[in-house]
Amino acid sequence: MTMKAVQAKRPSLYDLEDTIREISTPTLIVVGDEDDHCINPGLFLKKCIKASGLLILPKTGHTINLEEPSYFNNFLSDFFSQVENKKWLPRDPRSNPLEIMKT
């Protein structure tokens, strides 16, 4: 019912690309490699949010915090520490795949 009553009525994540590209907040995107429907959106968010990182945990599904609580908590702790210490910086523009692959 959630898919029909809520998710089907909201805009697609991809329709919000311009708004997402304006996000400057440090962001950690976390997906499990067995959560097939979230991998591509995770990659999309990583490409759009300047100060983001993408963590993909192996053999994990959608409920990462429950399936791998130790890994999840350790990565979050490290992320928070880097943000607090001003070490979680925006992506180096030289690593933009569209720039690297120009011919």
Tokens of 8: 């089907």
What is the reported pLDDT for 101? 58
- CA pair distance 57, 23, nearest whole angstrom: 24
The domain containing residue 74 runs over which residues?
12-90
pLDDT digits (tens, 9 = 90+) for 35-85: 999 999 999 999 999 999 999 999 999 999 999 999 999 999 999 999 999
Report if residue 21 sits inside a domain.
Answer: yes
pLDDT, residue 55, reads: 96
Check if the beta carbon of residue 21 is closer than 8 Å to that of residue 48.
Answer: yes
The total of structural domains in the chain comes to 1
- Specify if 81 maps to a domain: yes
Q: Tell me, rounded to whole angstroms, the distance of Cα 25 from its chain centroid.
A: 12
